[in-house]
């Protein structure tokens, strides 16, 4: 069940703002980039009301939307680099 709607609207606005009220250790961000994380998979009223990037599970993990967007960029880069390395290893094995 969603918390007080007006209160939650304010929390989301603050989270989406440019000045987070908390931070995240860079090591934690790197672990998330490496391992990824699972968003809630069942029906989520927060995701329904505020969108995928402002879901409660995302907001609880990342101090602000800016951190979440940085995570998405870094995760995409990391996954593509990992795929490149795997492809290089496979092609190297075939050519040997």
58-92 pLDDT tens trace: 999 999 999 999 999 999 999 999 888 888 888 87
Instruction: Return d(Cα 26, Cα 12) in angstroms, integer.
Output: 23
CA distances from 69 to 46, 57, 92 (A): 18, 14, 35
The per-residue pLDDT for 95 is 58
Domain map of the chain by residue range? 5-95
pTM for the model = 0.80
Instruction: Return d(Cα 62, Cα 22) in angstroms, integer.
Output: 9
Geometric angle at alpha carbon 59, from 52 and 78, rounded to 5°? 70
């Amino acid at each position: 069940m969603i918390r007080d709607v007006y209160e939650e609207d304010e929390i989301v606005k603050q989270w989406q703002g440019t000045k987070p009220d908390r931070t995240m250790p860079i090591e934690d961000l790197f672990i998330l980039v490496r391992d990824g994380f699972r968003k809630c998979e069942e029906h989520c009223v927060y995701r329904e009301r505020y969108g995928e990037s402002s879901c409660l599970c995302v907001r609880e993990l990342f101090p602000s939307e800016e951190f979440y967007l940085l995570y998405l960029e870094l995760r995409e880069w990391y996954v593509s680099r990992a795929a490149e390395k795997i492809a290089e290893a496979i092609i190297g094995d075939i050519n040997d």
